[in-house]
Amino acid sequence: MTAVFEHSPWIEERADGRPSSGDRHADLMAVVHEADIDEKLALIRAHPELAGKAAIDGTLTAASAAEQASAGLDRLTPAEFEEFQTLNASYRARFGFPFVICARLNNKAGILSSMRERLGNGREQEIAIAIAQIGEIVRLRLEDGQ
């Protein structure tokens, strides 16, 4: 069993110190929801930008590389790549954390339109959406037996 949260082993560790409900996903997400705001932000910031620097450098976790590839993000045209860089930068400048969406449940066009749309949200709303999307990422990783 490898880590199911990006660079955030504290969530599984904290869940392991509590009684299990029998629903691992629910137990993990309870830890996330009860975490303080700095911990929530650290969790969101542990995620790489889509088609971002880590993807170019080849420093993504294996799970993240596979997730990005499943949405077609490893096969971008130069124009699409530019659009990701521009939207990633605008999003980070506005909210102070990277854009997170469950890449495996979305395709390239859907991700780009969500980025544009979510740029109009408020910060609290975006924190809640990012945490919910991380819940989906983790649900799929648990289903894969990771």
CB atoms within 10 A of CB 98: 17
CB of 89 to ligand GUN, least distance (A): 15
CA 78 to chain centre: 24
Tokens of 65: 């590389």
CB of 98 to ligand GUN, least distance (A): 6
Candidates 100, 98, 125, 124; CA nearest to 114 is: 100
User: Which candidate in 7, 25, 33, 47 is catalytic?
Assistant: 47
Q: Smaller CB distance to ligand GUN: residue 29 or 50?
A: 50
What count of Cα atoms within 13 Å lies in the side-chain half-sphere of residue 136? Answer: 13
Give contact residues for ligand GUN (rule: CB under 6 A).
6, 47-48, 50, 64, 67, 100-103, 137
Q: Smaller CB distance to ligand GUN: residue 21 or 110?
A: 110
Residue 7 is a catalytic residue = no
Tokens of 55: 């993807």
Q: Smaller CB distance to ligand GUN: residue 8 or 64?
A: 64
So which residues are the catalytic ones?
Answer: 47
